[in-house]
Structure formats: C-alpha cells, structure tokens
Amino acid sequence: MDALQIRNVSKSFGENKVLSDINMDVRKGEVHALIGENGAGKSTLVKIIGGIYARDAGEILIDGEAVDFKDPLQAMRMGISIVHQELSLVPNATVAENIYLRREITNKAGFNDWNKINQQAAEVFQRINLDVDPTELVGMLSVGMQQLVEVAKAIALNARIVIMDEPTSSLSENEIPDLFRVIRSLRDQGISIIFISHKLTELFEISDRITVLRDGEYVGTVDTAASSSDEIIRMMVGRHLGDLFPQHASQIGDVVFECRGLSLFGRAKDVNFKIRRGEILGLSGLVGAGRTEAMRALVNADKRSSGQFWMNGEEITIENPQDAISKGIYYVSEDRKSSGLFLNSSITWNVAMASLDRMKKALGMLDQSKMRQTAEGFIKTMDVRPADQRVNTGNLSGGNQQKVLLSMALCTEPRLLIVDEPTRGVDIGAKSLIHKRLREIAEQGACVIVISSEMPEIIGMSDRILVFRTGHVSAELDNLRGSVTQEEIMQKATHN
C-alpha cells in the first residue's frame, strides 16, 4: 500500500490553470523527488497535499484512505508535515521549546514541565541520529541546523510523510551531508519523504524515485537508479510549441556597456559581461541564482559590495537608481505591483514618474499637459487598454500594467534597458507586443538585458545568453541564430 496517492488532481487560480490531472504515488519509506522548472506547479501541489490550498478536482489517498483536508492542521494530524523554505522557528526560544511549541507538556499546576520537554526533544534527536542540545537557543544555530530542528519538529508530530521544499537551497556544502543522513534515517524508519530541489546531482544522490512536472502537468515518474540526468532534463523542458518571437538582431554594433567584478554580498559573485549596441542579452538560470540580485546591485538599488562599469569606453560610477537613470541605465522590477507601479495613481503619473525632470514648466512646476500627451503617446504605441490616461494602474489587467511599467522606463529613453521578467503573468497578446517592442528598442540602437525564468522567452528573445548558477555566471552562450537549446541552458544552470 502506498503511503500517499494523488489521483487526477487539478487546480486553477481564476482562469489560470496551474495543475491539471496530476498523478503521483509515494511509497512507504522512500525518498521521492519532485522536480520541474519554475512555475511547473511543484509548490502548488505541495500546498494541496499539506491542506493549505483546496484542490478543484481529483483525490488524495493516505494509506489507501481518501482524505479531504480543510486546513493545514488536519493534514498535520494525518501525519503530513511540510518543511518550508522559510523556516517557521522562534529564534529566541530553545530547540526543545520550538519542537513542542503550542503542544507544551505541563505539570499538574499547568506550568511547562521543562525537564520533560527537554528529555522528549532529546529522544527525538536520538531517533534521527542527530547531536543537538535541546536547551540551545534556535537563533544560535546555523541555518542548516535550524532546518534539521524543523525536521525534528515534524518527527515529534509523528509525521509519516515529510515534504521538504528546497531544503538545500540555504545550506552550505558541508551541511548537506547532515541533512541527507537524517533523511536516510527517517526513510529507514518507514517515513516517506517528498524532496523538492532544482539540483539534479542532489536528487540522484538522495532519491529513490523522481517525478517530473511541467507546466502544471504530470510528465512521468522514473526510478532514480535506472535514469540519467539527461533523461530528467529532457522530461523537464519537453518540447514547447514554438511561440512566435521577433527576429534576432539584424546588426550588432560596438560594446556600449561593460560590467566587471559585480558582487552583492552573499547573493552575486564576480559577475562580468559586455553588451553591444542593438543587442538583447538574456539572463537565464533558476530562481535565486542571482540574476535579479546582480541587476539590482548594478543600479545600486541594493548596495553592491564591488563592481566597475564602462559606458562607451568611459568608466562611470552608478550611485543609486536615480544616478543610473541619469546615465541612461534603467532597471525595471520583476514585481510590477510591489516595486514597479504606483497602483493608486493614473497611467499618466506612472508613465511620467521617472522622467519628471523633462516635464517641467517655469519655476519647476509640473507641465501636466505635457505629461498627459506623453502618456497618450505611450498608450497608443503600447496599445494600453483601456486607452484612458486617467485610469489608475491598479485597475488595469496584468498585461496592461506591464505595458505601463515598460512605458515608465522607455519614457526616460534609456541606452541600457534592464527588464526583469517582462512578461510574467501576462496574456499572450501583451506578451508578444512587449517582445516586439523590446526588439524595436534594440534595433533603434539601445542595449537590452532580459531576465526571464521562461526558457522559450530567453531563447526566443536573446542574441546572447548568460546562465547564472549560485550567484555567478556559469556560462555564456551565443544565440544569434537561436541555436541554443533548453537542455543546454538547464545543464549549465543545474550542474557544477
């Protein structure tokens, strides 16, 4: 009997179908890896299993029994525990306190029985073969140890299925063996583990079987021993039907901008690149690989630890985003709602916001009619709907918001435009319009850097591709003829 069976589970958010007909079996006492590109639906599936989201269709069976969780607590009672990427421990409490948080063992008077709590916590650690002092404060432990405390907490809850969402992403190299040792000892005790990770080498080391998701669909499950990383990569990327992308660059000129030794403490390491006139440079890599971090550090939105820049052969400094914009460099955020647009303000204000210096009349008063005209121009060229400059951007659809955000950047007439996930959560029409505009801007002589987690977009748009892995550039691929394959990128993004 399988510990967990998932049968034809589907889930949509609004009109967006994120999971369709997922099937997956997890055996008792196995380490089952779950893998897929960004947005493949792994997290959603995990949240459904853990009772955080409700499924739209399908069924979930635990030990052969159909279950229907109303909330995470029910799932926990049935023996399902999720160890999230963000830890949920209280740093100022001891290890034992954290493990028995809200289930404190009390004595007759109703006070916490610390001896008993510490003793039981110690027993849990013994079970998973780990040497931790239960009276230590959690905040004093390394992130890796904290993660293991989180696992111990799950065990103390008598979890039979432990789900780990990218447990190694915050661990250093020498902490990973500890985690794997704990995982193996749990498996040997008959506990099932669902292990989510992007790192193929790890999956091959720890897992018994691997299930691959792609674009919210179930691709297949393979025995790890009988598979190869090539096979897994092929399953992950599949064959996307060719989206239509504009032509690649017709003419690439001289180097316009050069970046050397760009680092952001702990997040990006020694990033070097050049970009030429008319070129679109794609930054690929998994989420958290340091693409966004590097570009935010470039405009000094997050204070960089090092980096030198040259514009048209002359060394320049970039103090802050304002300074970057004045030197023709514009970074467009990946999150249009929280760090891109002013949602309570009109399209006009949003479009003009980064260019107010050019919208002034006498005495520095704002020239509102010029702002309006500028906005109307962009509404036309970007096909923003509704075509009314007075509408607040909070009331626009995702695609139209993205068009306005891009207009805000284009209004400054940048020489180097950096767009981060320019088509995330955007409909097909807006997507192809944004692609077309980006190519036009490049053809008119600007440089464009596109950060994207969507492989087809990276390959379809970029003339050259930088692949990021763990904070540094792991490969530079020439893609002027669109000859780079997704397998190639995935290989560079996941392998050492």
In the complex with another protein, the residue whose CB is nearer, 310 or 342, is: 342
Residue keyed to tokens 């023996």: 79
Q: Distance between CA 9 and CA 59 in Å, rounded?
A: 6
Tokens of 125: 């650690």
**Could you say which of 197, 284, 412, 453 contacts another protein (CB under 8 A)?**
412
Under the binding rule (CB under 8 A), the answer on residue 402 touching another protein is no
In the complex with another protein, the residue whose CB is nearer, 201 or 339, is: 339
Residue 488, classed as helix, strand or coil, is helix
* Bridge partner list, 193: 31, 162
**Which among 221-229, 314-322, 422-430, 478-486 is the span making contact with another protein, rule CB under 8 A?**
314-322
Q: Distance between CA 130 and CA 374 in Å, rounded?
A: 64
For 259, half-sphere exposure in the C-beta direction (CA atoms, 13 angstrom radius) is: 21
Under the binding rule (CB under 8 A), the answer on residue 377 touching another protein is no
Q: Distance between CA 370 and CA 142 in Å, rounded?
A: 56
Under the binding rule (CB under 8 A), the answer on residue 354 touching another protein is yes
Under the binding rule (CB under 8 A), the answer on residue 326 touching another protein is yes
- Are the CB atoms for 471 and 268 separated by under 8 Å? yes
In the complex with another protein, the residue whose CB is nearer, 266 or 394, is: 394
Residue keyed to tokens 């916490």: 112
Under the binding rule (CB under 8 A), the answer on residue 369 touching another protein is no
Pairing of strands 161-165, 4-13: unpaired
**Could you say which of 394, 429, 478, 495 contacts another protein (CB under 8 A)?**
394
| CB of 342 vs another protein, minimal distance in Å | 5
Q: Distance between CA 209 and CA 194 in Å, rounded?
A: 10
Under the binding rule (CB under 8 A), the answer on residue 316 touching another protein is no
**Which among 19-27, 188-196, 350-358, 481-489 is the span making contact with another protein, rule CB under 8 A?**
350-358
* Bridge partner list, 329: 416
Q: Distance between CA 438 and CA 450 in Å, rounded?
A: 9
**Which among 65-73, 262-270, 338-346, 424-432 is the span making contact with another protein, rule CB under 8 A?**
338-346
**Could you say which of 210, 408, 442, 477 contacts another protein (CB under 8 A)?**
408
Residue 94, classed as helix, strand or coil, is strand
Q: Distance between CA 155 and CA 147 in Å, rounded?
A: 13
| CB of 321 vs another protein, minimal distance in Å | 5
Give how many residues touch another protein by CB under 8 A. Answer: 35
Under the binding rule (CB under 8 A), the answer on residue 399 touching another protein is no
Contacts to another protein from residues 98-157, by CB under 8 A: none
| CB of 198 vs another protein, minimal distance in Å | 27
Residue 329, classed as helix, strand or coil, is strand
Under the binding rule (CB under 8 A), the answer on residue 360 touching another protein is yes
In the complex with another protein, the residue whose CB is nearer, 123 or 388, is: 388
Where does residue 444 rank: exposed (0-12), middle (13-18), buried (19+ CB within 10 A)? Answer: exposed
Q: Distance between CA 284 and CA 490 in Å, rounded?
A: 9
Between the alpha carbon of residue 241 and those of residues 17, 238, 403, 438, the distances in Å are 18, 10, 25, 22
In the complex with another protein, the residue whose CB is nearer, 12 or 344, is: 344
DSSP code at position 397: -
Per-residue contact string for residues 290-309; x = within reach of another protein by CB under 8 A: ---------x-x--------
* Bridge partner list, 447: 416
| CB of 394 vs another protein, minimal distance in Å | 6
- Are the CB atoms for 446 and 266 separated by under 8 Å? no
In the complex with another protein, the residue whose CB is nearer, 109 or 365, is: 365
**Which among 90-98, 103-111, 305-313, 349-357 is the span making contact with another protein, rule CB under 8 A?**
349-357
List contacts with another protein (CB under 8 A). Answer: 299, 301, 320-322, 324-326, 331-333, 338-345, 349, 353-354, 356-357, 359-360, 363-366, 368, 394-395, 408, 412
